[in-house]
Structure 1
Amino acid sequence: MAQVDQASDDSDAIEIKNDALTEKRALSRVERQLNDDELKHPGVQKMILDRLHVAENNISTLERFRAAYYDVKSKLAVAESSSKRVASLDALQSAALGVGCLVLGYLPTAWGNWPLTFVVFFGGVGLVGGSVWSKWSNK
């Protein structure tokens, strides 16, 4: 079987321009290894100092980004923890409401039987207590 080469169809591709500032440095294609005699020239030393200055500026910018990253990361961890707490309290409130409603719905059947009436009473206390505790904890 003959293999058919297919070219990609870029006719409907959207070209995206890179708006990032790219600095083109002078002498970027010059050989970078220098011997001792070349390093003694003031021009070479000034170019090395210029590159060092640019590198230090880049490092300080990246350090600010790193500090901001860890600050946001710690705030995110606190927010996720708070979100889990609120979700668990919401589940507790829903369970207390469900059990309380079931127990209160069982009240007419248990009215003549005192032990069942006490169970219903404690279920109602659990319903009200769970709802109040959940609402108080979410403030």
Structure 2
Amino acid sequence: MTQEDQAPDDVGAQPVDAAEKPKKDALSSLDLEVKLTDLKHLGVQKLVLDRLNKAESRIRVLEETAVGFNDLRVKHAKEEARVDHLLEADLLQSVMLAFGSLIVGFLPALWGNELYASLAVILGGALVLGSVSSKRRSRK
């Protein structure tokens, strides 16, 4: 076999755009300009009714899509607000845990003064426990 026999026969071939959809309508190549006198013919009336039915079905599909889009947009806004609230609660929980841990961490330095040590235990413990309880509540 020679090289010419093995080469594909693409002489005169025209590239086809894959994104271009072929028209499936049998009447798409006809001149569809309708004059008033043409409307008296049964074939033209059927053609007009066919086009009208197709247009009405497309309108119904688009209306359903618009309603679905609006429903999803409202749902998205609600979920976004919920996520914002959870982020704020998580930030508050993190700050409470950090300050509570910081206060509890200073306890060894405050053992000499009973008032400050007991105040640090109460305040630090309350912040840590409040942080943990707020985290549990936000998960529910």
TM-score bracket, shorter-length normalisation: 0.7 to 0.9
Letter matched to residue 56 of structure 2 = E
Deviation at 1:68, TM superposition (A): 2.0
Question: Aligned in 2, Cα 1:35/1:17: closer, same or farther, shift over 3 Å?
Answer: closer
2:4 is aligned to none
Which protein is richer in helix relative to its size? 2
SS in 2 for 1:130: helix
Q: Secondary structure at the match of 1:48?
A: helix
Match of 1:124, SS? helix
Partner of 1:133: 134
User: Displacement, 1:105?
Assistant: 0.7
> Partner amino acid for 1:137?
S
Structure-1 separation of matches of 2:108 and 2:97 = 18
Q: Which residue of 1 aligns with 2:102?
A: 102
Whether 1:121 aligns to 2:117 is: no
CA RMSD of aligned residues (A): 2.5
For 1:67, the equivalent position in structure 2 comes to: 67
8 Å CA contact 1:96, 1:131 repeated in 2: no
Shift of 1:56: 1.1
Distance 1:98 1:72 in 2: 38
Deviation at 1:119, TM superposition (A): 4.4
Matching residue's letter, 2:133 = V
Which residue matches 1:24? Answer: 24
Q: How does 1:43-58 map to 2 (within 5 A)?
A: 43-58=43-58
Q: Closer, same or farther in 2 for the Cα pair 1:19/1:115, shift >3 Å?
A: farther
Cα pair 1:86 1:138 within 8 Å, conserved: no
Distance in 2 separating the partners of 1:114 and 1:73: 58
2:40 pairs with 1:40: yes
Instruction: Give the deviation of 1:126 after TM superposition.
Output: 2.0
Q: How far apart, in 2, do the equivalents of 1:40 and 1:114 lie?
A: 106
Q: What stretches of structure 2 of length at least 5 have no aligned partner?
A: 1-15
| Offset at residue 48 of structure 1 (A) | 0.3
Instruction: Determine the C-alpha separation between the residues in 2 that align with 1:19 and 1:106.
Output: 72
Tell me the TM-score normalized by structure 1.
Answer: 0.73
Identity, % of aligned pairs?
Answer: 35
Partner of 2:112: 112
Instruction: Look up the match of 2:6.
Output: none
Given the alignment of the two structures, is residue 92 of structure 1 paired with residue 92 of structure 2, yes or no?
Answer: yes
